[in-house]
Structure formats: structure tokens, C-alpha cells
Chains A and B, each alone.
Chain A
């Protein structure tokens, strides 16, 4: 955050420690890309593209939003392009879980992975605009003002998408019926 502030205030970029920007924002961007539909194996490539794009677009960053919001906005667009690419649209075998897990930590890890897999399936079934607002608000936990800024839409529109997206997500979750949740 301090770094984002100093970039915003300085208004110049040549002295920016870009590695520090990647270290600060990389973790949440890697997380968000996975929920935005980027396959696990492709997340490093796509994240690299996000930051290379950020670097190119830093001169446009005027400090009107936080740098965090700016990076999320780029991530949403890069992930959207990724989802549209023919490469991703091709059907692929779904990940399979190992058949046996022995120890308690292994079981816990399996459970966690299964939850993420189901979450991603539910998110993938939504309208992309709903998916994006849900990822930024419900998982990345940005305030709605930042969500709207990252998505490039008015706050009111973002709320509209959020409410519709929540209902759609609940329905999608029930349709998966992961735990007999009816």
C-alpha cells in the first residue's frame, strides 16, 4: 500500500522498483486469475502478461485509483482475453483427484482442492460480468468502489451485477449439488 501511494504521488515511473510492485501485488493477482478462469498451468504465463501490461501502462496510471485497483483491472481484462482464446475453449480432460489420501493433512488438502474445483465450476457457469464482480468482491474482498473502478463501470452498475451474480452463483452451486445441499 505504501508503495502504491508513493507511485501515485511521485507521478514518475523511471525510479519505480517494479520487482517490489510484483512482490506486493503478485500474490493476489495469481489468486484472482485462477478464479477468473485461468487454468492452473497457465496462471504463471498470464500473470506475467498482467505485469508486463502494467509496466507498459504505468504512464497512464494517474493515481486516481489505487495501484491495486489498476492491476486488478488489467488482470480482469487479460483473463477475459484468455477465456476467449480458442486454446482455452477446446475441451480438456478435467483434473482428477488422487484416489487415496492417507494422513489428515492430505485429506484436508484434498478437501480444499475439491472446494476450489467446485467453486471454479460454479463460477465458470456464470455470465463473465457476474463472475468478475463476484471474484473481486466476494473472494478478493475489495470495497465496491474499487470493484467498480477495476471493472470500469459505475458503482451502481457494479452493485446490480453483484446482486444478480450472487443469485446466479447460489443457483449454480445448488446445481452442482456438492453435498446434497438441497
Chain B
């Protein structure tokens, strides 16, 4: 066998192993799975990172790093907006469920090209359970409520996730954004929102959620808890860009 020859072409393989390796190689996801991944990644990027606002006192290098992160976030945000509004226009719901909807949502609903009558409204019970009735072509519709004010939120407050998984990711994103925006005016609320996220954890949000919770605990004067949580944060995310920032905050009296 040459250096780059594959095992499945070797002559002395146990029966069935070559076929199993082929099955592994052929196990590519469907187009829909790739689209769902793209949407969830863009949704995550539109809300994650760079949104905490500078707290002052940090070095120029860190400021530059933060600026870079914001720039990347913004690029992600714009893409996510495009992607999600595209989903919206394709799958506009017959009615907006009450659970959902931010007043300031700037969604191009009027441009939606799909007649509402084409969409068979799913039951509200299903929505409340987070599992929505499938609509034509397997598209699922749900919108999203963001309870806390989001003064500077981008134009994607209402989206129509295509799968339950996507809906979950977007729910978490909403909670995280609400928590982040509550941090400066009401740390107790910010902390409560991060705890609500805890019921539906997604690895992608954990770092940001912990960052918000630690800052909220510190702001509430619960320093010992904040420090304990920070120690676990450092263990879990040793390379986190938030590390220095959190350390600086915790070191303040």
C-alpha cells in the first residue's frame, strides 16, 4: 500500500469493514441539514460577542480586539438578517402568535410574497410546547417574543425557524440578548434571564451566558458567587476573550 492508500483498499481487511468505511464516507447530510446549520450559525453570530459594551480601563490592544470582534459580529448580523428575512418572506405565518413579537421589530413583513392563506396555522398548544405544526414542505413556523427592551437590536426580531432545533437556538439567542441588554440597568433581571437560558443550554451560548451572569452577580454585590463562577468559567473557557475583562471587573471594589 502506498503512503496515501486507504485502508478500505487493503487486501487483508476483515469482512464488512471496507463497506462500513464507505458508508461512513457516504454519510453526508441533506441540503436541508446544511441550510439549518447555516441559519443557526448566522443567528448565533448575530447575537454573540462584542455586545457587552466596553467598561473602560482596558488597554488599547484589547480595544482593538474588541473592535475587530464587533466588526465580525456586524458582518454576521447583516448576513443573518438577510438569511432570516429571506426565511420570513418565504414562510410568513397566518398570524403572529402572542408569545412572540417585539414591538420594534423591523421586519419587512409587507414584502412577504406568500399569501397567508397558504399557510395552515398550527395550534397554539403546539407552539407553546416549542414544537410547531409542520407546514407545507415541512417548514415550521414560529415567532419569537423578546420580553426585555432591545433598543439597539438588529432587524431580526421575528424569524421563522425551520426546525424545532432552530427554534430552540433562536429562543436562547433572544434570552441572551435580553439578558445582555438588561445587564447595565437591572442586573437581577439579567441574571434571571441567564437562568432561564439554563433550561435549554446550547454549547455555543455558554461562554457569553456565563460572562453575563458573572457580571450580574458582581453588580448585585454577590462577589463570592461571582468569583466562584469566574473560576469555573476560566477552567471551561481558558482562551476566552472575556477573561481579562471579567478579571478586571471582579478586581474592582
Chain A positions within 8 Å of B, measured between CB atoms, are: 13-19, 22-23, 26-28, 30-31, 34-35, 44-49, 51-52, 55-56, 58-59, 82, 112, 115-116, 118-119, 122, 134, 137-141, 143-144, 159, 166, 169-170, 173-174, 178-181
Contact = CB atoms under 8 A, between A and B. Distances in A.
B13 to A, nearest CB: 7
Contacts of A16: 75
B252 interface: no
A169 to B, nearest CB: 7
A82 B8 CA distance: 28
Given A52-B204, A170-B13, A139 B72 contact: no
Contact of A18 (B17, B24, B76): B76
Nearest to B31: A27
Contacts of A173: 14, 16-17, 20
B174 to A, nearest CB: 16
Interface of B is mostly: helix
Contact of B23 (A116, A138, A170): A116
B21 A17 contact: no
Contacts, number: 139
Interface string B193-205: 0000000001110
A52 to B, nearest CB: 5
B203 A27 contact: no
B79 A19 contact: yes
Given A18-B76, A27-B29, 16 more contacts: A18-B42, A19-B41, A22-B38, A30-B37, A31-B29, A34-B27, A48-B40, A55-B41, A115-B23, A118-B16, A119-B24, A122-B20, A144-B4, A169-B7, A173-B20, A178-B16
Contacts of B20: 115-116, 118-119, 122, 173
Contacts of B202: 45, 48
A15 B42 CA distance: 15
A30 B36 CA distance: 12
A35 B22 CA distance: 12
A52 B75 contact: no
A58 B3 contact: no
Contact of B165 (A34, A44, A56, A143): A44
Contacts of B63: none
B187 interface: no
B24 A56 contact: no
Interface string B55-89: 00000000000001101100110010001000000
Contacts of A122: 20
